[in-house]
Structure formats: structure tokens, C-alpha cells
């Protein structure tokens, strides 16, 4: 039984321990608030390293985070993480990987005399970092300075509590970084969309003797389909409908480059096949240097005085030409291969005669390759039949009904549009 003096000493000792634990909890709470207020992962890791070493009176330490399935050193204060990885446990797994995989704190206060790390490390504690039961890293403290016996239970408890704050702070910072990056990308895409919109031609052009209507729906913020109308005179104009491989920003950039090349060449030459040959050489040499980037398009020169359309089809889906009176459909196939991959290819051209009431439908694969719930493509045949069935309607009404037709066909497959959708109907009046 404790004597009064001994009891007083025990009470005093317990009071000191309580005061110490209260101070530690206050420190942890303060540290947790500070970590939670940080939005930069590197700053959080540096602060966490400093706090950890101070709380457990450790000499040096490091922090490793999981990236791509492996632990990567993010902070290293006074110790080389590769030395820690030399400490092996069961199945020859190093102590950092073991702590990360098992999700339990590891404490080692004794090393064999022949262990090469013993000259530098006499005690070590490794605490796993996890968020929502998913391991994200390990915090390491090396060489206890206030106790010759090394790290103990109190060190484990305090570091585990700190790791809980730190794990949440790290994930919050990562999420904030992703959110800011997404917002920046959205802003850049919106700007790119606006720039692309200003570069696209005014399709509300009017020519005496022709009626032209366009459907253009990009799959994303920016599109890779290309539509252009270039007036030459009151009776002549050039129509180009094309499609750049790939999607999104790469396709939009290539479309813009192709537009510049096409407009520059179109102003120099009269022969349609020669124009497309020049365009292919320019794009092959200077722009499209990757095998998965190319453009297909139809380059058509309309002469309403001669009532002709001279065209070159550069690897694109052949447009339909509908004879209103006979109901016959022909395809504009003459031309050559895709543009931007093979230099010095000689493209061919063809001239077709136009009659009053004729309709020419230009389109991209966003129309014909859209898929319904049965995984069935809309297809060229269906599009041709749709054109014939609406031979009597105006181009504006046709384009509106085509939009409704495609939307109805893909209804129920999801909200994400897979590809840009472009269609241009030219009616000879």
C-alpha cells in the first residue's frame, strides 16, 4: 500500500502524464486544422514530416506515396529512402512495402549486428497512410533521440492520429488540384471552341439558283469535322465537307491547319484535282506528321452558270446526288486517298451536270456510323433512302428532319455523342 508521500508522487506523476497527453492532443488538433487548411500536397508533406519528427522525437525521416502501384519518395529529411528499403521482413519484402500492404504500423528497435543499416539506423517506426480504407503511402521516422529503448506505443498512437489528419489533407489537396486542372481545361476548351467558331465560315450564304442548309453538331467542346463555303463569284462557289481523324483538341487543331492550307491553295488554282494534290503535299510535309492524324474531305466547285459540279473526293464518304424527277441516286466517288499521309499522290476529278431540283447531300461518318440500342449502325443505305423519301421538302426542313432522325435512332444509348455530326444539303433551284 502506497504511503501518503508515495501516493502524492503517484498523483503528481499521473497529473503530469495527463497534462502531457492533453498538450499532445491540443498539438494534434492544431496540426490537423493546419494540415486541413493547406491545398498543396508538397506543403502538406513538408509540414507533416516536420510535425512527425517533432512529436516522436525522431532524428530523421521520409514520406513515401503510392504512384502507379509503387511507393515513391516524396519527402526525405536526412535519410535516404533506399536505405530503408534494404530492411527486409517476411518473403524478402522491404519494411516500407510491408507496412503499405498490411496497413499496420511497424516498429523496429533492434537490428542484427551484421545488418548494414545498423550503422545508420538504430530504431525506426513506419505508419501507413490510408484514405477510405485505400493505402496511399507510408510515413517513416528514424532514430528516437529521447529514449535509448527506441520508439514505443505512445509514438505509434500519436503518429497514427497524425496520419489520419494527413491522409485526409493529402486527398483533399489532390482533389482540389484535379478540380482546378479540370476548370482550367474547361476554360481552355471554351476558348478553343470560341476560336474555332470564329474560324468556321459563315454558312448562311446565298447564291442565286441554289439553296444550301447545314447541320453541324460537334461531339465535344471542339470538333474535328470541317465545313467550308468559299464564294468565287455570283455564280460560283466552293463547298468542302471533311473529317479529321481523332477527336477533341488534336482534331480541332488539325482541322484549323487544314482549313488554312485549303483556303490558301483554293485561291491559287482553278483545277479541282490540282488544288487537292497541292493541299495533300502541304499537309503531308508540314502538318500531319503522325500516322493516326489525317483528313478526308470532298472538294466541290459549283458553277451555276454552266450548271455543273466539279469535285474531288479525297478518301471521304461519297456524297449523294439525287435526281428529283427520276428519284435516282448517284455517288460522288472520284478522287483518291486520304489527305496528309502520302505525298505526290495525283488526285482525280469529275464533273457532273446539274438540273433544277437536283439535291446533293454531303455528310460525315457521325451520321452514318451512329449506333442504336441494338448496336446497329445507321448506315449509308438508310441515309440514301431517307433522302429519297424527303425529295419534296426544302433543304431547311430536310436538315431539321435529319437531326430528328439521328437523335431518334440513337435514343436510349446514352447522353454521350460519339462523333461529330455534319451534313450539308445543296439544292439546285
Give every CB contact of residue 92 below 8 A, 6+ residues apart in sequence. Answer: none
Nine-digit cell string for 302:
459549283
pLDDT at 40 exceeding the cut of 70: yes
Summarize the confidence of residues 64-87 as an average pLDDT. Answer: 89
Of residues 172 and 138, more confidence is placed in: 138
Summarize the confidence of residues 36-63 as an average pLDDT. Answer: 83
The predicted structure's pLDDT at residue 426: 96
Structure letter (DSSP) for residue 87 = -
Of residues 316 and 3, more confidence is placed in: 316
Of residues 410 and 268, more confidence is placed in: 410
| Tens-place pLDDT, residues 367-388 | 999 888 888 999 999 999 999 9
Of residues 1 and 350, more confidence is placed in: 350
Strands 70-77 and 106-108, bridge-based pairing: unpaired
Summarize the confidence of residues 92-109 as an average pLDDT. Answer: 92
pLDDT at 237 exceeding the cut of 70: yes
pLDDT at 340 exceeding the cut of 70: yes
Give every CB contact of residue 404 below 8 A, 6+ residues apart in sequence. Answer: none
Summarize the confidence of residues 65-77 as an average pLDDT. Answer: 89
Of residues 41 and 389, more confidence is placed in: 389
The predicted structure's pLDDT at residue 154: 87
Q: What is the DSSP string of 32-66?
A: HHHHHH---HHHHHHHHHHHHHHHTTEEEEEEEEE
The predicted structure's pLDDT at residue 329: 95
Summarize the confidence of residues 43-63 as an average pLDDT. Answer: 88
pLDDT at 128 exceeding the cut of 60: yes
Minimum mean pLDDT range among 40-54, 176-190, 211-225, 238-252 = 176-190
pLDDT at 92 exceeding the cut of 60: yes
| Tens-place pLDDT, residues 179-223 | 777 776 666 556 555 555 555 555 566 778 899 999 988 765 555
Q: 230 forms bridges with which residues in the sheet?
A: 238
- Terminal C-alpha separation, the chain: 116
Q: Which domains does the chain have, with CATH numbers?
A: 21-174 (3.30.450.40), 188-428 (3.60.40.10)
- Determine which helix (DSSP H) or strand (DSSP E) holds 71, and give its type and residue range: strand 70-77
Minimum mean pLDDT range among 98-112, 173-187, 306-320 = 173-187
Nine-digit cell string for 336:
483518291
User: CA separation (Å) from 126 to 54, 139, 155?
Assistant: 15, 6, 10
User: CA separation (Å) from 198 to 201, 316, 421?
Assistant: 8, 25, 19
The predicted structure's pLDDT at residue 95: 93
Mean pLDDT of the chain, nearest integer: 82
| Distance of alpha carbon 60 from alpha carbon 45, whole angstroms | 14
Summarize the confidence of residues 245-256 as an average pLDDT. Answer: 69
Nine-digit cell string for 166:
494527413
The predicted structure's pLDDT at residue 10: 61
Give every CB contact of residue 86 below 8 A, 6+ residues apart in sequence. Answer: 94, 116, 117
pLDDT confidence band for 345 (50 / 70 / 90)? very high
Nearest to 308 by CA among 235, 205, 242, 240: 235
| Distance of alpha carbon 65 from alpha carbon 44, whole angstroms | 13
Amino acid at each position: 500500500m502506497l504511503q501518503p508521500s508515495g501516493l502524492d508522487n503517484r498523483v503528481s506523476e499521473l497529473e503530469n502524464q495527463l497534462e502531457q497527453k492533453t498538450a499532445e492532443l491540443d498539438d494534434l488538433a492544431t496540426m490537423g486544422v493546419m494540415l486541413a487548411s493547406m491545398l498543396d500536397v508538397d506543403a502538406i508533406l513538408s509540414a507533416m514530416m516536420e510535425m512527425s519528427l517533432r512529436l516522436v522525437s525522431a532524428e530523421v525521416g521520409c514520406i513515401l506515396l503510392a504512384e502507379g502501384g509503387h511507393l515513391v519518395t516524396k519527402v526525405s529529411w536526412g535519410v535516404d529512402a533506399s536505405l530503408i528499403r534494404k530492411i527486409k521482413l517476411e518473403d524478402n519484402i522491404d519494411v516500407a512495402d510491408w507496412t503499405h500492404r498490411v496497413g499496420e504500423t511497424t516498429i523496429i528497435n533492434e537490428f542484427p549486428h551484421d545488418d548494414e543499416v545498423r550503422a545508420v539506423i538504430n530504431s525506426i517506426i513506419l505508419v501507413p497512410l490510408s484514405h477510405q480504407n485505400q493505402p496511399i503511402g507510408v510515413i517513416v521516422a528514424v532514430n528516437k533521440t529521447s529514449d535509448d529503448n527506441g520508439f514505443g506505443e505512445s509514438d505509434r498512437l500519436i503518429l497514427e492520429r497524425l496520419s489520419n489528419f494527413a491522409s485526409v489533407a493529402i486527398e483533399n489537396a489532390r482533389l482540389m488540384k484535379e478540380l482546378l486542372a479540370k476548370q482550367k481545361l474547361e476554360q481552355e476548351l471554351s476558348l478553343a471552341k470560341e476560336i474555332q467558331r470564329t474560324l468556321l465560315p459563315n454558312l448562311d450564304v446565298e447564291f442565286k439558283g441554289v439553296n444550301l442548309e447545314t447541320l453541324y453538331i460537334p461531339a465535344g467542346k471542339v470538333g474535328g469535322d470541317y465545313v467550308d463555303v468559299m464564294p468565287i463569284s455570283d455564280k460560283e462557289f466552293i463547298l468542302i465537307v471533311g473529317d479529321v481523324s481523332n477527336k477533341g483538341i488534336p482534331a480541332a487543331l488539325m482541322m484549323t491547319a487544314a482549313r488554312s492550307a485549303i483556303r490558301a491553295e483554293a485561291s491559287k488554282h482553278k483545277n479541282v484535282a490540282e488544288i487537292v494534290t497541292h493541299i495533300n503535299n502541304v499537309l503531308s510535309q508540314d502538318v500531319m506528321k503522325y500516322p493516326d492524324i489525317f483528313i478526308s474531305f470532298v472538294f466541290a466547285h459549283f458553277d451555276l452558270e454552266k450548271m455543273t459540279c466539279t469535285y474531288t473526293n479525297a478518301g471521304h464518304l461519297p456524297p449523294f446526288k439525287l435526281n428529283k424527277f427520276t428519284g435516282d441516286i448517284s455517288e460522288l466517288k472520284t478522287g483518291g486517298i486520304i489527305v496528309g499521309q502520302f505525298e505526290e499522290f495525283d488526285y482525280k476529278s469529275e464533273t457532273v451536270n446539274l438540273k433544277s431540283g437536283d439535291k446533293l447531300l454531303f455528310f460525315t461518318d457521325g451520321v452514318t456510323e451512329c449506333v442504336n440500342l441494338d448496336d446497329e449502325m445507321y448506315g449509308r443505305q438508310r441515309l440514301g433512302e431517307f433522302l429519297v423519301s424527303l425529295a419534296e421538302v426544302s433543304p431547311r426542313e430536310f436538315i431539321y428532319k435529319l437531326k430528328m432522325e439521328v437523335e431518334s435512332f440513337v435514343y436510349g444509348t446514352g447522353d454521350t455523342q460519339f462523333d461529330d455530326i455534319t451534313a450539308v444539303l445543296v439544292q439546285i433551284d
